[in-house]
Copies of this chain bind each other. A is one copy, B any other.
């Protein structure tokens, strides 16, 4: 819930972790780490406060002293994994490779922790690690020559692509995971069904008849890389084209 009016100003991030004197058998960091383990193993639905308690060899509700609510715990977990993403500092590499590194890093993190896809749409990611990442990106893009709102727009474009793409990918992986088969095996088994679909959707059908020999896993990587390159091309050409009159741009 936490529906405080000043939602951002008094969220988890402004409140220091509680722990002082006694013998804190539990700490906030420890709880968050255990929660991430559970989430990685069993997904978003697999995390319950009771389960978390027993994994920590603690009572079912002990975590509630360190963390106000389960949502808040998820927010902390999200920011924690956000910290795994590395973005080069502004001057360390040319901006295209730095931006590409951000996109690929963000995607890789999401695929490592697929449960974050269920969190991105709920509360904005504004924890310290997310902020650190934003800061780096702003630095890189400013150094590249973007200015004003275009800095924000370009950074949002990069992250949106990574989030959207990896979300779709995660959904696909999750749907084949319980079968225990590889992606290619699953596609092979689905061929009759896909053929039937292709017969009902003309454009898709025509495409499928010429492109049904695919290596699914390699395709996912290529797909993402292709998107990143096109997107960087688009940003690059914007940079080249309007090098002079960028002041009132943004509303074409």
Measured CB to CB, the residues of A under 8 A from B are: 3, 5-9, 14, 90, 114, 117-118, 120-125, 131-132, 134-136, 138-139, 142, 148-154, 156-157, 159-165, 167-168, 170-172, 174-176, 178-179, 181, 186, 189-190, 192-193, 197, 201-204, 206-207, 210-211, 214, 219, 222-223, 225-227, 229-235, 237-238, 250-252
Contact = CB atoms under 8 A, between A and B. Distances in A.
Given A202-B135, A204-B134, A171 B121 contact: yes
A171 B223 contact: no
Given A122-B171, A159-B168, A176-B7, A237 B233 contact: yes
A153 B222 CA distance: 8
Contacts of A142: 203, 206-207
B121 A223 contact: no
Contacts of A153: 222-223, 226-227
A190 B9 contact: yes
A139 B201 CA distance: 10
Contacts of A118: 118, 121-122
Contact of A120 (B90, B167, B193, B197): B167
Contacts of A120: 117, 167-168, 171
Contact of A167 (B164, B178, B204, B206): B164
